[in-house]
Structure 1
Amino acid sequence: MPTTDSPLAAVATASTVPPAGPVLAAGESARTVDLPGLGLLVRSGPGSRDAEPALCVHGLGGSSQNWTALMARLAGTVAGEALDLPGFGHSPPPDDGNYSIAGHARAVVRLLESERRGPVHLFGNSMGGAVAVKVAAARPDLVRTLTLISPALPEIPPQLSAWPTGLASVPGLPQLYMRATRRWSIEQRTAALLALCYGDPSIVDAQARADAAVEYQRRLDLPYFWDVMVRSTRGIVNAYTLGGQHALWRQAERVLAPTLLVYGGRDRLVSVRTARRASRAFRDSRLLMIPQSGHVAMMEHPELVARAFRDLLDELGHRGGGAGTGTTGTQDSPTSTAATGS
């Protein structure tokens, strides 16, 4: 479909210049945390800073903005923050060029240690879920609870719809993809991304799609965009092949923090089949299944995720220690929050 035929074209022309800094929702703020060899953009959600701290970790191709809708709904419950992992969003690449799951996990630990915010309620989506598992397993002192939304835990073989993403780790293939789709408009690329990440991409309205297209173009124009994507995808693939104590499923078994698992029935990247295995692997888990959700439930169904998290806190407040396991599956009317990450 030519650009001029796109229903987003008229909306997109009003905001074709990418913003210099992160786009912030009402009540949000952002700051840059400078650490040796590492600079991180940290987004703070609305609400009181006196509440218990929470930190959110996005997935491959995402950013801290992926957590805006959820942080807004948890504003009265936790003091929510979200970071842009090194090389993503508005965080520059790390000096050491390490985009492995372990490398991203070290960045999260260094942030928490530098600001002395732990223990936090740690949230992770997709690749960020694998990162959060690493952090929770290695540093239980930094994690109060763990919420994983479609975490990237090994599934062999992966579902067919996830293969194209994994193949991005193969040198040269992203460039081939870009050449093969060179006639696509940025609106078409954004629509394809939303279709991959959302169970029902039609809930994203025209203005939100146009804003997402502007942000997507900004990222594509970064000179390090493909290097970060390829190396981070390779980091996920490598993490899937690790054995022994470093294997992600073994790491999951070591997590002590009470864990909320969220899976979507329409997820095209993380199969819902892994949900049952995950609920068995984490020693203190409860499982939320959202049949109509895709890969980014915190964006597509933020109210359901927020409700499940508050239920977790209520459970912990009422039980006198000891592990409890609960399973709940529900579906509600989805919200219309836009996304650009997976």
Structure 2
Amino acid sequence: MSTPQFLTLPPGVRRTDIETSRGTFAALEALPGSGISERGPALLVPGYTGSKEDFISVLQTLAGAGRRVLALDMRGQYETPGPDDASAYTCTELGADIASVIETLSDPVHLVGHSFGGLVTRETVITEPTLIESYTLMSSGPAAISGGREVDGRVLLSALPKVGLEHLWATRMEPQAIAKGVPPDIVAFLRRRMFMNSAVGLMSMANELLSMADRVDQLAKVSGGASLPVLVLYGENDDAWDPEDQAFMAERLGARKVVIPGAAHSPAVEAPETTASALTSFWNDAERT
């Protein structure tokens, strides 16, 4: 299959693998134009059914501020393999994976978790706060997902064992993407990515996404005690977690809040320049303090 134009890597961005104590993780790496990182590294973690490619539009800009930036596929996502063991895909286990990735880097990282990736990385921060320079929850919420995305998750959980992924893709996922105006080459990539996911991982992650308890108080205790800067960033039209719930989460955390105009659930895709600017500003401020 030819590479969709959307997935053409910008200059300074390369595909790589990260070897850790818990396995190998597929990643995209962006470096400053000079090749020298003058600021702390950043690690971007995607959401459910997502992948490192969800951050392609922001990687070059983020690295241009003088830092190494990594985006990865979690265990069982796209180009990172995962076992046929449901217990391997809990937020606790996936969060430990993220910690193992950070441990391969030379410095504490600016950690970003998008959507389900926010629930995963929250476990990393609660467990290993000393590994983190700053923490961003991007389009993520305090607990289990709600609204229309909750319905989608429950449909997948119920139907996947009965009819299979091919049927779900052909009758639900692909028509939804086409109805939203997604270009054909991107639809082709989304199909390829979906079918490279671990089927067991899809089920287990969906269960986590639909049942996760509120852990904001635990995160607040850790981030406050460690004086860890936290940012809550989301699109004004987010259709996964209610924007009001995310705003209240920011209050509970004593966190900085940024609302991206015109964006919905994927600010890095829908408003990449605004999102990259907000992240860079937050990271620079965190390093100064």
Say whether the fold is shared (TM-score over 0.5).
yes
Q: Would you say 1:215 and 2:189 are equivalent positions?
A: yes
Alignment identity in percent? Answer: 22
The aligned residue for residue 125 of structure 2 is 136
Q: 2:157 aligns with which of 163, 170, 178?
A: 170
Structure 1, unmatched stretches of 5+, are 1-15, 196-201, 241-246, 322-342
Deviation at 1:36, TM superposition (A): 5.3
The answer to whether the Cα contact below 8 Å between 2:144 and 2:211 also exists between their aligned partners in 1 is no
Q: 1:252 aligns with which of 199, 216, 219?
A: 219
Distance in 2 between residues matched to 1:40 and 1:176, nearest whole Å: 30
Deviation at 1:106, TM superposition (A): 0.6
Distance in 2 between residues matched to 1:177 and 1:96, nearest whole Å: 18
SS in 2 for 1:260: strand
The answer to whether the Cα contact below 8 Å between 1:170 and 1:230 also exists between their aligned partners in 2 is yes
SS in 2 for 1:309: helix
SS in 1 for 2:89: coil
- Label 1:226 to 1:23 Cα distance change in 2 as closer, same or farther (>3 A): farther
The aligned residue for residue 57 of structure 1 is 45
The aligned residue for residue 5 of structure 1 is none
The answer to whether the Cα contact below 8 Å between 2:110 and 2:132 also exists between their aligned partners in 1 is yes
The answer to whether the Cα contact below 8 Å between 1:263 and 1:289 also exists between their aligned partners in 2 is yes
For residues 252-331 of structure 1, the aligned pairs below 5 Å read 252-253=219-220, 254-255=222-223, 256=226, 257-283=228-254, 285-316=255-286, 321=289
The answer to whether the Cα contact below 8 Å between 2:111 and 2:135 also exists between their aligned partners in 1 is yes
- Label 1:67 to 1:280 Cα distance change in 2 as closer, same or farther (>3 A): same
Code of the aligned partner of 2:207: R
Q: 1:88 aligns with which of 62, 73, 77?
A: 77
Give per-residue Cα distances to partners, 1:159-194, cap 9 Å, x unaligned.
2x12223305634456458687675598535335xx
Deviation at 1:316, TM superposition (A): 4.0
The aligned residue for residue 136 of structure 2 is 147
Give per-residue Cα distances to partners, 1:56-78, cap 9 Å, x unaligned.
00000110111111111112222
For residues 174-189 of structure 1, the aligned pairs below 5 Å read 175-176=162-163, 184=171, 188-189=175-176
Distance in 2 between residues matched to 1:182 and 1:107, nearest whole Å: 29
The aligned residue for residue 110 of structure 2 is 121
The answer to whether the Cα contact below 8 Å between 1:261 and 1:286 also exists between their aligned partners in 2 is yes
Deviation at 1:35, TM superposition (A): 4.0
The aligned residue for residue 99 of structure 1 is 89
Q: Tell me the TM-score normalised to structure 2 length.
A: 0.83
Q: 2:63 aligns with which of 52, 72, 75?
A: 75
Distance in 1 between residues matched to 2:12 and 2:70, nearest whole Å: 12
- Label 1:191 to 1:45 Cα distance change in 2 as closer, same or farther (>3 A): farther
Deviation at 1:314, TM superposition (A): 4.6
Deviation at 1:218, TM superposition (A): 1.5
Which structure is higher in helix share?
A: 2
Count of aligned residue pairs for this structure pair: 278
Q: Tell me the TM-score normalised to structure 1 length.
A: 0.71
Distance in 1 between residues matched to 2:91 and 2:8, nearest whole Å: 26
Distance in 1 between residues matched to 2:52 and 2:11, nearest whole Å: 15
Structure 2, unmatched stretches of 5+, are none
Give per-residue Cα distances to partners, 1:27-82, cap 9 Å, x unaligned.
21122234456221121024235232110000001101111111111122221011
What RMSD, in angstroms, separates the aligned Cα atoms of the two structures? 2.9
The answer to whether the Cα contact below 8 Å between 2:118 and 2:138 also exists between their aligned partners in 1 is yes
The aligned residue for residue 45 of structure 1 is 30
The answer to whether the Cα contact below 8 Å between 1:219 and 1:225 also exists between their aligned partners in 2 is no
Deviation at 1:317, TM superposition (A): 5.7
Deviation at 1:132, TM superposition (A): 1.8
Deviation at 1:25, TM superposition (A): 3.3
